[in-house]
Structure formats: C-alpha cells, structure tokens
Amino acid sequence: MTGRGGGYCMLKISQSYDEPQTGFAGVFGKAVTLLPVSKRVDIISLYLRARRVRLALRDIDHRIAFLEVVIQRRDDSRRIADNRNPALGRDGGAS
C-alpha cells in the first residue's frame, strides 16, 4: 500500500462490492480502510474538480496582477507626462 514493495501490507478484500477493504500497512502495521470503489471514484472526481478550480483561480490571480501592473505603469506615465507639460495644469488641461 506504500508502493515500495516491502511486503508488509495485508488487506482483507471484502466479498461485497459496497463494503470497505480493511487491513494493515507498513512495518508498524498501521490500520487502514479503503472505501468501496464507487466512493473512491467520487472522491477522485471531486479532487480533480477542486484541482481545476485551484488552477483557474491561480490563472485569474496572475491576470489580476498583470492588470495591476499595466494600470500602475499607465498612471506613472500620465504623471510623468503631466510633469513635463506644466501648461496643462493640475487638472490635465480640462479647465
């Protein structure tokens, strides 16, 4: 059950499809229970959906960060342009 091939794991495989599998894993014989296949598939499906959501949120965070940089650079360039053209005044020439 660790995947290392040490041969210390023991698993009772139930005759019924709906019952969990129970057993012991590792050198120290840690008790384990495996859910029935249908429930494991549901958990895997939920895990994969959650992973996709996490990746989508990470992508959105990157896009927001990029837009914040663009806005900051735009504002900085406007400030620089206003400082170079004092004839526009403080309101950018709107008055």
Whether 33 has a pLDDT exceeding 90, the answer reads no
User: What is the token pair recorded at 72?
Assistant: 């900051």
Q: Would 23 be classed as within a structural domain?
A: yes
45 and 69 housed in the same domain: yes
25 and 8 housed in the same domain: yes
> Structural domain tally of the chain?
2
pLDDT for 91 equals 58
Judge contact between 23 and 10, C-beta under 8 A.
yes
Q: Determine the structural domain holding residue 30 and report its residue range.
A: 1-34
pLDDT for 25 equals 83
24 and 57 housed in the same domain: no
- Rounded to an integer, the average pLDDT of 39-68 is 90
Name every residue whose Cβ is closer than 8 Å to that of residue 87 and which is 6 or more positions away in sequence: 93
pLDDT tens sequence across 57-91 = 999 999 999 999 999 999 998 888 888 766 555 55
Judge contact between 56 and 40, C-beta under 8 A.
no
CA atoms within 13 A on the CB side of 1: 19
- Whole-structure pTM value: 0.44
pLDDT for 10 equals 81
> Tokens 């663009």 belong to which residue?
70
47 and 13 housed in the same domain: no
